[in-house]
Amino acid sequence: MLWPKLVCFALVALAFGHLYQVASEETIAVCPTNFSQVADKCLLVDTKWRNFYESDRHCRSLNAGLLSLKNSIELNAINEWLPVIAPYQPEFWTAGNKLGERGVDYYWQSTGEKAVYLPWRAGQPTPASGDCLTLLANVTMTAESTILSPHRLAVRNCTQWAPLICQAPLQYFKTQLCLNTSAFFEAKIPA
């Protein structure tokens, strides 16, 4: 008589334990060390001045690429973030360029994709200025303060010097609460 009750109790305990583990699973997004989450990207501003080629190499050394833009939502988030992280920097290298292209199309070096969203600064593009793209803001100086307009794209000579923005993808992890009769711990598993 005791045997069926024990089997039933074991099956119920097993079922509830499994439901509890599934209920405690969560997916989290994390940026690499020193990168900040902005929109759906991880960004890092480096204020050391480099040319486009050195900037690209530097980002690659961090397992990242230069900044590419997808849409206005992303650019708005970047324009809200930049005054906090680099308040007086008007220009940054992006991954945009038309190196090796004879036409007017620009590509994102970091992704290899054609640049479809190109929020140009007033008076741009000026192809005679070069083949690479920077994010550039207008600077207005008054006696009281320095004001930067929102950053927009501008064409520059790739050998000019500017700070840069590296981007890395978000890293997704699943966290699970693992239960044991004597202890519990949390595990992060790459998704």
**116-168: per-residue pLDDT in tens?**
999 999 999 988 899 999 999 998 888 888 888 999 999 999 999 999 999 99
Q: Can you give the pTM of this predicted structure?
A: 0.78
Domain assignment of residue 47, yes or no: yes
In this prediction, residue 1 carries a pLDDT of: 54
Domain assignment of residue 16, yes or no: no
Is residue 14 pLDDT above 80, yes or no?
Answer: no
Burial 38-68 (b: 16+ CB within 10 A, else e): bbebbbbbbeeebbbeebbebbeeeebbbbb
Q: How many domains does the chain have?
A: 1
Domain assignment of residue 181, yes or no: no
> Which range of residues forms the domain containing residue 161?
35-168
CATH of the domain at 136: 3.10.100.10
Lowest-pLDDT range of 28-32, 47-51, 89-93, 115-119: 28-32
Domain assignment of residue 48, yes or no: yes
